[in-house]
Amino acid sequence: MGLMTGQQFKDSLNDGRVIYYKGERIDNVATHPAFVNCVNTMALDFEMGHDPKYKDLAVVFDEELGEEISRYFAIPKNGEDLLKMQELIIKSTELGDGYIPFSHDIGADVINAIIITANIMGDQDYIDRINNYNKYLKKTDKAVVAAVTDVKGDRMLRPGDPGQAHPDYYVRIVEKNEQGIIVRGAKAHISGAAYANEFFVIPCRAMSESDADYAVAFAIQANAKGIKQIVRPFVQGRSANDFPNERPHRMITDSLIIFDDVFVPWERVFLCGEWKYAATMVYNFALLHRRTGCAYRIPLSEQFLGMATAIAEYNGVENAPHVKDKITEVVIYLETLKALCNAACFDYKMIAGIAVPNPVITNIAKYHFAHQYHEIVRIVQDLAGGLLVTRPSYLDYCVPELQEEIIKYCGGKAGIPTETRLRMFDLIRRMTHSELETIALHGEGSQESQRMTIYAEAKKTMRYCKNIVDVMAGIKKQD
Ligand SMILES: Cc1cc2nc3c(=O)[nH]c(=O)nc-3n(C[C@H](O)[C@H](O)[C@H](O)COP(=O)(O)OP(=O)(O)OC[C@H]3O[C@@H](n4cnc5c(N)ncnc54)[C@H](O)[C@@H]3O)c2cc1C
């Protein structure tokens, strides 16, 4: 089949999948008005593959298959490959006005995590299965997302703990037979799932022996029998109060996916009770996906610097010392993120033949982005001023007897049209009064998970540094 076009991707979604949205069963996500912007956002990846401007970045030639495939499905072999992938993530997110299309990137992070896990296990059967599945994705160019986060129930209890209110808070194997396995449970917050072709399902935590039934990983079609999605509306929308904007509106929704005794054939099962390796799989997925997450936050951070610079100028305060200070803060935020992302790729390490970004730097990058995010939002809102929430709406602006007064009294710096200033307020409202803060905090895992990884990965550095001071203090001799 080869690389899908945007239209082929959209057509592929009319497959009988079960989707509920705002109390309604959706017949075809590709054509339903609530999902059109989301589907168009996801289609960006496919369009890039056919656009001469982006093709070199989005597509690579696969020697084994003798055909062009998405760059995402090619295994990264060195730092250069990681940087190229980062460039692709950044470019597609720029086209998505801050939204990564999500059709291949997160799936690729899972593929690589499964390959690493299968190789560490030394299990040839699993190695063959994931390689075959990867080949299938390369050939069919399916949009595949990652269902990792279980609904979890009581967070302090293990999946199989009898204290949990029921045994299905984590996706689990309820039956094994000659053809495959049957699974039950639910995964929460799954981005882009409503309009993906397939999902990867992998554990979200380390497991113990008593959790063996929960140590399960597989790939499944979105329309498989027993799968139901409940999609939460994403509220970062444009509104009728805003000035009309011809630029396409981009967005991605998230789903609660329910697996009600879903059959998965063996060739799509990548972990089945090997509880010791659940941690390996989720650890490597988190590492790879945090790198992806940091890369797509670069365009978002550029938007914040742009909004801070623009509104300071439109308000006429760009030369005030405290304003320069605040804008400098946003520059530091952006440039630190960029530098950490690049450094993580340059300082890559090889695991099972796959180049993975430096774990400590990647986790610091994600932590930096999430930890400072609210501060950056605060700066932009501070520089905007109160009209951000109290200005007359575009609907009032359209009333002939009001327009002149709105232009007169809502102006800022002389020479800047009032409409320019009001449009920037619309954008800042959309970007800072939204759910993005929660996404920044929890997307790719909570901050605590990054801190835990940084600490665990930095142990060697800690020992090295302790040795330095032991020598300096005369406790030890120089090696
Ligand atoms: C917009 C959005 C998109 C997302 N997209 C995806 C996706 O595509 N795929 C996917 O798989 N996931 C996705 N996620 C899920 C994301 O990875 C999780 O939100 C994140 O891992 C936190 O899990 P949680 O939401 O269940 O919060 P919780 O785990 O309940 O965390 C809440 C708080 O409790 C703390 N906590 C939790 N457990 C413990 C414990 N045992 N001991 C001590 N403290 C604890 C945490 O540190 C945190 O402070 C998305 C999330 C968001 C918000």
pLDDT of 83 above 80 = yes
CA-435 nearest atom, ligand 1: 1
Q: Is residue 74 part of a domain?
A: no
- Please compute the mean of the pLDDT values over residues 216-234 and round it to a whole number: 95
**How far apart, in Å, are the Cα atoms of 126 and each of 116, 120, 129, 274?**
11, 11, 5, 12
Give the pLDDT band (50/70/90) at residue 225.
Answer: very high
Q: Is residue 31 part of a domain?
A: no
- Please compute the mean of the pLDDT values over residues 433-441 and round it to a whole number: 78
Q: Is residue 158 part of a domain?
A: no
User: What does pLDDT average to over the chain?
Assistant: 95
pLDDT attached to residue 248: 86
pLDDT attached to residue 235: 65
Ligand 1 within 6 A of CB of 446 = yes
pLDDT attached to residue 437: 75
Q: How many domains does the chain have?
A: 1
Per-residue pLDDT tens digits for 278-303: 999 999 999 999 999 999 999 999 99
User: Strand pairing of 227-232 and 19-21?
Assistant: parallel
pLDDT attached to residue 188: 97
Ligand 1 within 6 A of CB of 156 = yes
- Please compute the mean of the pLDDT values over residues 426-447 and round it to a whole number: 84
pLDDT of 271 above 70 = yes
Q: Is residue 472 part of a domain?
A: no
d(C-alpha 252, C-alpha 335), whole Å: 26
- Please compute the mean of the pLDDT values over residues 180-201 and round it to a whole number: 97
Ligand 1 within 6 A of CB of 366 = no
pLDDT of 339 above 70 = yes
Q: Is residue 268 part of a domain?
A: no
**Cα 153 to ligand 1 centre (Å):** 12
Q: Is residue 164 part of a domain?
A: no
pLDDT attached to residue 236: 64
Of 147, 193, 189, 146, the residue nearest 42 (C-alpha) = 193
Any idea which of 340-354, 363-377, 443-457 has the lowest mean pLDDT?
443-457
Ligand 1 within 6 A of CB of 452 = no
Ligand 1 within 6 A of CB of 152 = yes
pLDDT attached to residue 440: 78
Of 255, 280, 272, 238, the residue nearest 187 (C-alpha) = 255
pLDDT attached to residue 337: 97
d(C-alpha 149, C-alpha 444), whole Å: 10
Per-residue pLDDT tens digits for 85-137: 999 999 999 999 888 889 999 999 999 999 999 999 999 999 999 999 999 99
Expressed as residue numbers, the domain containing 343 is 280-466
Q: Is residue 126 part of a domain?
A: no
Of 186, 226, 170, the residue nearest 18 (C-alpha) = 226
Q: Is residue 92 part of a domain?
A: no
Ligand 1 within 6 A of CB of 149 = yes
pLDDT of 308 above 70 = yes
Task: Decide: 145 and 199 in contact? Cβ < 8 Å.
Answer: yes
CATH of the domain at 332: 1.20.140.10
pLDDT attached to residue 239: 84
- Please compute the mean of the pLDDT values over residues 315-320 and round it to a whole number: 97
